[in-house]
Amino acid sequence: MGRLVVCDHPLIQHKLTIIRDKTTNHKQFRELVDETATLIGIEATRDLPLEPKTVETPVGRAEGKTIAGRKIGLIPILRAGLGMVEGLLRLLPSAKVGHIGLYRDPETLKPVQYYISLPSDAEDRDLIVIDPMLATGGSAIAAISMLKERNCRPTKMLCLIASPERGPGPERSASGCGHLHRRRRRTPGRTRIHRARARRRGRPPVRHGVTKGRRN
């Protein structure tokens, strides 16, 4: 079973609160998602392997360390995952980016693939799957399964918010994603928020973290 990590850094909590505030405008929202992705990315890369390296400084030799091991790939789930990519690329400028497009079938409520594009050397990289919201876990499991079917190695999944800890998303993804580590900021009451938004927009409300219709 994978390991679930909740990032509770004060800056992440602060920015996420503003993101969730209904008075936050679109510009602020995009900027805050970008900044929060960078902060979560720092936590997610904490366990990257290192190797020793000797460098010449202006005053002599010094022993340091550099990142070792496999290169990184970022795989956002379209379209929401795109908002986190730039914030992660600031930390990992050499990472390559792929994309997976999914929508939820309105009849079966199952995720359906409509697009996938991966780096040519994806099999040789440790892939980080990106999706800001984790509700039922269906899209996460589908995306990770697609990568495994192509002999790729997804190692982590990054989310901004998720259903409550006893909700279906964290439990399903933890049991269905094998060795994956998930980094996220847990948001209690998320289902209630989405129900209220669905009513305002005239959409079917969320039921146990599932919304009928196409996934944005």
Domain ranges, residue 32: 3-50+64-200
pLDDT in the model for residue 29: 95
**What type of residue sits at position 200?**
R
Please name the residues in contact with 66: beta carbons below 8 A apart, sequence gap of 6 or more: 50, 51, 53
Tokens at 15, concatenated? 């920015």
Residue 153 located in a structural domain: yes
- Which stretches of the chain drop beneath a pLDDT of 50? 166, 176, 186-201, 203-216
What does the alpha-carbon distance between residue 31 and residue 24 come to, in Å, rounded to a whole number? 11
What does the alpha-carbon distance between residue 135 and residue 155 come to, in Å, rounded to a whole number? 20
Residue 209 located in a structural domain: no
pLDDT in the model for residue 48: 92
Tell me the C-alpha to C-alpha distance, in Å, between residue 76 and each of 25, 131, 194, 206: 23, 6, 22, 23
For residue 209, which phi and psi values (nearest 5 degrees)?
A: 85, 10
pLDDT in the model for residue 99: 97
pLDDT tens across 3-41, in order?
Answer: 788 888 999 999 999 999 999 999 999 999 999 999 999
- Of 141, 62, 58, which Cα lies nearest the Cα of 102? 141
**What's the whole-number average pLDDT of the chain?**
81
Residue 58 located in a structural domain: no
Residue 140 located in a structural domain: yes
Residue 57 located in a structural domain: no
pLDDT in the model for residue 7: 87
Tell me the C-alpha to C-alpha distance, in Å, between residue 131 and each of 1, 138, 141: 20, 12, 12
pLDDT in the model for residue 96: 96
pTM above 0.85, yes or no: no
For residue 137, which phi and psi values (nearest 5 degrees)?
A: 90, -5
Number of domains the chain is built from: 1
Residue 170 located in a structural domain: yes
Residue 167 located in a structural domain: yes
Q: Beta strands of 89-179 (E only): which ranges? A: 96-97, 99-104, 111-117, 125-130, 133-134, 153-158, 161-162
What does the alpha-carbon distance between residue 101 and residue 71 come to, in Å, rounded to a whole number? 23
- Cα Rg of the chain (Å, integer): 18
**CATH number for position 80:** 3.40.50.2020
pLDDT in the model for residue 202: 52
pLDDT in the model for residue 208: 35
Q: Beta strands of the chain (E only): which ranges? A: 3-6, 50-57, 60-67, 71-78, 96-97, 99-104, 111-117, 125-130, 133-134, 153-158, 161-162, 181-184
pLDDT in the model for residue 164: 67
Residue 119 located in a structural domain: yes
Residue that has been written with the tokens 């040789």 in this structure: 124
